[in-house]
Amino acid sequence: MNLHPLRLFVGVVAGSISVVAASYGSTIALTEILPTGVTCPLLTAAQGTCLNSAGAFVTSAPSVLAFAGTGLSMAGLQVEATFADGFSQTLTWAGTGGAAGGVSSAPGIHQWSLSNAGDTFTTDWILANSASSSSNITEIILSGLGGVNGAGQATIFDRTSVPDTGGTTNEQTPGSHSGHDLSISSGTLNTYSLLVTYSNVFRVPSAVCTNSGAGSGNQRTTAPCADEWATLMIHFNSFAGIGNFTPNSTLSFRQDVDNTGGPLAGGPPEVPDPLAVPEPTTLSLLAGGLGVWGMVARGRRRAKA
């Protein structure tokens, strides 16, 4: 099962998206995906674009408990790396001492790591594809849906508010304070071309969005406020440029995270299975009249598998 159908969106949005110039000649395109029926905010050019998809969903927790997430507090975060040769690996974030944390895979021909050593609002993430790797990294997906830290808190990604004046001004989701969109700080290549996608939007029970700053009229005013997200995808090689994240290279970037008061609830919409097999007890009750039909249905399921 693939919890991250974001790859499907890469080709869809690449043609119509606004691209923001980043440092070192690189470009970043920011996109957010809201569930069908949740109205997209009117984003500024710097904030990127928004689209709706039935595959996206709303996640929730009782509160945003900590707005100063660190490498340590992100324990439990799921990080999936995909390589150009088709290899894919998902690792669970863990603390590595002090305020630092990360994921790292050393053996084999797909050696990579992602880490952050402090407060994510002010401290860079560092992505590395080792010189021992034999393939480019094409995509990194980070998801707070997979787990929680030792205090039972999940990790979510807080986007930049407009205007981003700090503190609680324009914080949107209550308790989140200002966030920070993914931005490139430095890298060993000078023409990274990133498509950054935020999906599976987060909300707290309160319907209020805190929009106190001037110029905030383009934000959503009721939850989900669309500044906090459970899933972040970084896709390489979306536009002109070197693109793919080659072996023996690093990328330093900034992205703010917060921690929630409890695990994330919510998930992909349930799709009814028209050939679902009844529970055994139900099946026995129906055996007289519908038993033959049930056996036919099961046979069809086996045939599809």
Measured CA to CA, the distance from residue 265 to residue 145 in angstroms comes to 8
- Pick between residue 136 and residue 172 the one whose CB is nearest to Ca ion: 172
Residue 224 interacts with Ca ion (CB under 5 A): yes or no = no
Instruction: For residue 125, report the phi and psi dihedrals to the nearest 5 degrees.
Output: -85, 150
Residue 227 interacts with Ca ion (CB under 5 A): yes or no = yes
* Minimum CB–partner distance for residue 172 and Ca ion (Å): 5
Residue 176 interacts with Ca ion (CB under 5 A): yes or no = yes
- Pick between residue 101 and residue 174 the one whose CB is nearest to Ca ion: 174
- Pick between residue 194 and residue 226 the one whose CB is nearest to Ca ion: 226
* Minimum CB–partner distance for residue 258 and Ca ion (Å): 7
* Minimum CB–partner distance for residue 72 and Ca ion (Å): 21
The region of 126-134, 174-182, 184-192, 285-293 touching Ca ion under the rule CB under 5 A is 174-182
The region of 73-81, 166-174, 196-204, 232-240 touching Ca ion under the rule CB under 5 A is 166-174
Which residue minimizes CB distance to Ca ion? Answer: 176
* Minimum CB–partner distance for residue 17 and Ca ion (Å): 23
Measured CA to CA, the distance from residue 246 to residue 136 in angstroms comes to 4
> Before 163, cis peptide (omega within 30)?
yes
Q: Which amino acid is at 70?
A: T
The region of 158-166, 200-208, 238-246, 268-276 touching Ca ion under the rule CB under 5 A is 158-166
* Minimum CB–partner distance for residue 182 and Ca ion (Å): 14
Binding Ca ion (rule: CB under 5 A), the pick from 80, 124, 158, 256 is 158
* Minimum CB–partner distance for residue 178 and Ca ion (Å): 6
* Minimum CB–partner distance for residue 257 and Ca ion (Å): 11
The region of 77-85, 168-176, 203-211, 287-295 touching Ca ion under the rule CB under 5 A is 168-176
Residue 181 interacts with Ca ion (CB under 5 A): yes or no = no
Residue 143 interacts with Ca ion (CB under 5 A): yes or no = no
* Minimum CB–partner distance for residue 74 and Ca ion (Å): 17
Binding Ca ion (rule: CB under 5 A), the pick from 76, 146, 174, 179 is 179
Measured CA to CA, the distance from residue 253 to residue 275 in angstroms comes to 47
Q: What count of other Cβ atoms lies within 10 Å of the Cβ of residue 45?
A: 10
Element (H, E) at 304: helix 280-304
Residues at the contact surface with Ca ion, assessed by CB under 5 A: 158, 171-172, 176, 179, 227
